[in-house]
Amino acid sequence: MRKIWTIALLPLFLWPGLSGAQDVQPRKLVDCPTAGLLPKGSFDLEIRAYSGGGLLAQASVGLTDRLAMGLSFGGGNIIGAGKINWNPRPEAQIKYRLFEESPIWPAVAIGFDSQGYGSYSDGSERYEIKSKGVYGVLSKNYHLWGRPLGFHLGTNYSFEKKDGDDDLSFFLGLDKSLNEELSVVAEYDLALNDDRQNGIFGTGRGYFNLGLRWNIERRFFFELDIRNLTDNIENLSAFSRELRIVTLQFF
């Protein structure tokens, strides 16, 4: 009987987010993309501060209702003393939404992102956390207890493969709005393309990341991220704490 009542009452708490779902859906969780896009005629600027005094800046533009493009650049030890370890080049992002979300079907987007995260290894020609490369992602939004809830599932193929690991990988995640200002994001990247380095990089556990996002207003937010909770990098003794600042503006 309890199960019957649970199923009967579920629609009161969980139903498709038909109105404004894309407005509140994030374009990225922590590292993993969603099918969310910038509005047409808008741009955003993102600054990410990470361990080792690193900073990464990214600028993206919503060119149409379905297409967004961006560029990013950064380096390690920018904050601190000593030589700055610049990334080898600016990296590019492009995302195109193939299908809009419907009451039944998720939104579908494809894209390319050459930006990895963490320090860059010249010898292996890869970032500590590999870039997504070519990817496809599904996103479906609901309302739970009156606030948005989004689920995301994707697959990707990274071109950072000089380490000999060129497997197709998968990722999944969710975002949940707690109130009009606070939301949480969570993701798990299986990192199947990063588990053959004998402890140098990924060890086969994948990457589990969490973030707490504070929207001061719709176009500006801070985010505190806790990354690598699975302790997937052998030469790092603990998870890392990072800060993101993102602002969105219209032309």
pLDDT value of position 80: 85
Mean pLDDT across the chain: 86
Q: C-alpha distances in angstroms, 160 versus 87, 105, 114?
A: 14, 32, 9
pLDDT at 10 > cutoff 90: no
Identify the residue with better confidence: 238 or 147: 147
Phi, psi at 2, each rounded to 5°: -60, -40
- Does residue 63 surpass a pLDDT of 60? yes
pTM, two decimals, is 0.86
* Predicted pLDDT of residue 22: 39
pLDDT for 21 beyond 50: no
pLDDT tens per residue, range 67-96: 999 999 999 999 988 899 999 999 999 999
Q: Convert 7-69 into a string of H (helix), E (strand) and C (coil).
A: HHHHHHCEEECCCCHHHHCCCECCCCECCCCCCCCEEEEEEEEECCCEEEEEEEEECCCCEEE
Assess whether pLDDT exceeds 70 at residue 5: no
Contact by Cβ (8 Å): 131, 114: yes
Pairwise pLDDT comparison (92 vs 18), residue with the higher score: 92
Quickly tell me which residue has 């955003």 as its tokens. 44
Q: Which pLDDT does position 174 carry in this prediction? A: 96
For the beta carbon of residue 86, count every other beta carbon within 10 angstroms: 13
Domains and CATH numbers, the chain: 2-250 (2.40.160.40)
Residue 46 has a pLDDT of 96
Residue with the two structure tokens 């030890």: 77
Tens digits of residue pLDDT in 135-191: 999 999 998 887 889 999 999 999 998 888 889 999 999 999 999 899 999 999 999
More confident residue, 18 or 246: 246
